[in-house]
Amino acid sequence: MKKLAAFVAALLFITILMPVNTVSAEPTFNEPSIKAKSAILIDANSGKVLFAKNENSKIYPASTTKIMTTILAIENGNLDEQYICGREVSVFSKNCSLMGLKPKEKVTIRELIYGMMLVSGNDAANAVAVAVDGSIDSFVERMNQKAQELGMENTNFVNAHGMQKDDHYSTAADMAKLAQYAMKNEEFRKFVATKSHTIASTNKSAARELINTNKLISLDPADNKYHYAYAIGIKTGLTPTAGGCLVAAARHDGMELIACIYGDTSADGVKRWGMAKNMFDYGYNYYASVDLTQILSQIKIQERIPNAPNSDIGSGVLDFVPQFEGNVMYTDTKENIAQLTASPDSITAIKAFDKELVAPIKKDERMGTVTYKLGNQLILMAPLLASRDVLDADSAPGSPSSAPASPGDPGYIEAKTKKDTSIVAIVIICVVFLVGLILLINYLVKRSKKNGQLKRRVPNNKKAYYNYRRRF
């Protein structure tokens, strides 16, 4: 019994002394499982790709096409202008998604956008196209022009609503670019975040309540399992050929993400909601955003201007100011963000000038660009502006043609000494001239007096006169 007690005591003692292996709370980068043809997750601010699957593969965008239709209507139309619908709203079968417009119905462009973005009305999309550009063909031309401007190189639109056409296509990466651009517009953000909207009765229809088809922000209690707390829009799509499509946005802890899912082949595309939530969770679990505006502003960017004058207030060294568009938000893994905020000097600034750095240079003149990097990671490229004027040596204050303005200016003492020396020399010359003039006058006066005295003593006899003349 004593041996058993001793063994147990020894075992407990050894157990206490053994090191405890703790389980790390650090998350592993388990990418979301996406059972769709293609998908992409980006940071909405920078466009940084956080996750992608076949993002450049050809897809059919279905009703997510209406993102382009809406942003163009906002940018080019009067949203509160009354529009009288024409035949363009009655060319669809009843099997597709419709707002329920009728020819000659009077509605505003704003109401048409609600009809497009909430219930995915194809009739509303056609009406918007004609209201903005006069014809669907002209509007489609505008759509493709905008796509090119946004760098959507693998996209072609042939209609304003997204119904299936083989030559109406895009990619998940291109649609992410479109969504990123559109979400910068506050009016657009209001439309896509709207859960429901009631349109008052018109001359052709009773009042209509429109419910958003995006289940991530849905009000329907039946959709609670799909609801995502941080979701803020954007647009759904569904056709037999395209499958379930979704472009969604979410915002959490100052970081806004955009997820695009195309080719969900589940019944009614029901799995796209869970896929979107998994993509957002992945982004928020492993990534973070930080405002680098102050850190980047403190990195000095300087160059010496070779032909700056001696009187230059910066002694020929010019500071350059990066031109940021708003705050500089940077998204990276949480580990890299922590390292960055702890050691801001790990950021490098690579300057590239567009022209030779010679004076004259004007304040706020664009001189080149600066590229900020964290290791091999690109953070930002920004234009570089001159912080002040720099005159060339020939025309600068303090040059031989002009003196420095005040005792505080560089070169003032040197210029003042030269000026004082010149004044002394002029004074000496003037004194010498005056003395010489006085001596000359004195000599002439004395000679004049002497001549007068001699004249008064001119003798009357010829011999004496002759001798007088010989003397003078």
Q: What positions carry a catalytic annotation?
A: 63, 66, 120
Per the document, the length of the chain is: 472
Burial class (CB in 10 A: 0-12, 13-18, 19+), 354: exposed
Any idea which residue has 């960055």 for tokens?
340
Do residues 139 and 129 lie in contact, with contact meaning Cβ atoms separated by under 8 Å?
yes
Report d(CA 284, CA 305) in Å as an integer. 47
d(CA 3, CA 13): 15
Find tokens 């664009």 and name the residue. 366
Please give the full DSSP string across 98-162, using - where no structure is assigned: -----TT-EEEHHHHHHHHHTT--HHHHHHHHHHHHSSHHHHHHHHHHHHHHTT-TT-B-SSSS-
CA 198/CA 22 separation, integer angstroms: 56
Distance of CA 191 to the CA centre of its chain: 24
Burial class of 274 by CB neighbour count within 10 A (0 to 12, 13 to 18, 19+): middle
- What are 126's two structure tokens? 């056609």
Q: Whose CA is closest to 379, among 144, 47, 151?
A: 47
Q: 311 phi and psi, to 5 degrees? A: -85, 0
Alpha-carbon distance values, 90 to 85, 113, 207 (Å):
9, 17, 19
Residue 19: exposed, middle, or buried by beta-carbon count in 10 A (0-12, 13-18, 19+)? exposed
User: Which tokens hold the place of 315?
Assistant: 């002694």
